[in-house]
Amino acid sequence: MKIAIVGCGNMGMAFAKSFIQYDLVKKDNLLLIEKSADRSEALKNEKAGVVVDTIGPRVGETDLIILSVKPQDFNSVYEALRDVIQPTQIVLSIMAGIPIAQIQEKLGHPLVIRAMPNTPAMLGMGITGFTAAKEVDTTSLRRVENLINATGRSIFLEDESMLDAVTALSGSGPAYFYYVVKAMIDAGKQMGFDDAVSALLVKQTMLGAYHLINTADKSLDELIKAVASKGGTTEAALRAFETGNLAKTLVTGIKAAQTRSTELSKG
C-alpha cells in the first residue's frame, strides 16, 4: 500500500510511525509532505519516509491520502490536491471540525473518510472515532480501519455529527486527565511533599487505578465504594467534591467542548 501524509506534525507522524512499526507500509511507499523547512529536514534525517515539501504528481500515485494539516491550513492545500488526486484514491481526514461534505466539495472527490484521533496515538494507545462518506466501499473502509488501529483502537460511527462528541470526550479528553492530575499534584505540594514525590504518588495512583478499571470485575461505583470506607478519609474527599459539584462541572465542560466542535464544523 502507498500512503501520502499531508502535514507531518505530531498526529501525522504518529500515524506514519505506527504504519511502519506494524509493517503496514514500507518507508519507500510512505510519502511525507511537509512545508516547514526545519521539520522537513528533521524528517529526512530520521529517514521516516520519502520527504517532499510540496504537493505534486507523486501524491496521485498513492492509494491513500491522509490530511493532517491544521484545519485553518486546509484552504492553502486543497487546490494543489485537487489537481493531482485520482478517482480511486481514498482521502482520510484527521482535521478537526471540517465535515466530509466540505472536503468532498473542495477536492471535487467523493471518497472521503473522516477521523478524530487523540494524542495517545503517538504511543500506539489512542482511540479514534471515524466515519465515512456513503461513496466509500466496505473493503476500502476496512483497510483504513486496519491502519487506524495501528495507533490504538477505533470506533466507527454511522452519524458524522457524533464526531463532535468524540472530539469533546476522547479527542480533548487527555487534557481533562492532565488537569485532574495537576490539581492532585498541587494538593500534594500544599500538604508538604516536594514536586517529585507528589508527582510520583499521583501518577502511579492514576496508573494503578486505570488498570483496575480495565481488569476488575466491578462497576465504577463499586470501585469507588471499595476505597471509600464509611466515615473515612475518602468519603470526606468525595463529599467535598459533591458539595463543589465537581462531577456536574466536568460534564458541563465536556458538553461545552462538543458545542464548540459543532460551531467550528459549521465555519
Residue with cell 465515512: 132
Domains and CATH numbers, the chain: 3-159 (3.40.50.720), 172-265 (1.10.3730.10)
Q: Rounded CA gap, 67 and 77, in Å?
A: 10
- Poorest-confidence range of 11-25, 77-91, 136-150? 11-25
Beta-carbon contacts of 68 under 8 Å, excluding residues fewer than 6 positions away, are 5, 6, 7, 8, 9, 11, 12, 15, 94, 95
Q: What is the pTM of this model?
A: 0.91
Neighbour tally for 118: CB within 10 Å: 24
More confident residue, 267 or 117: 117
pLDDT at 198: 98
Q: Tell me if residue 228 falls in helix, strand or coil.
A: coil
pLDDT per position as a tens digit, 178-221? 999 999 999 999 999 999 999 999 999 999 999 999 999 999 99
165-182 per-position pLDDT tens digit: 999 999 999 999 999 999
* pLDDT above 80 (res 69): yes
**Cβ proximity of 106 and 74 under 8 Å:** yes
8 Å CB contact between 214 and 159: no
| pLDDT the model gives residue 45 | 86
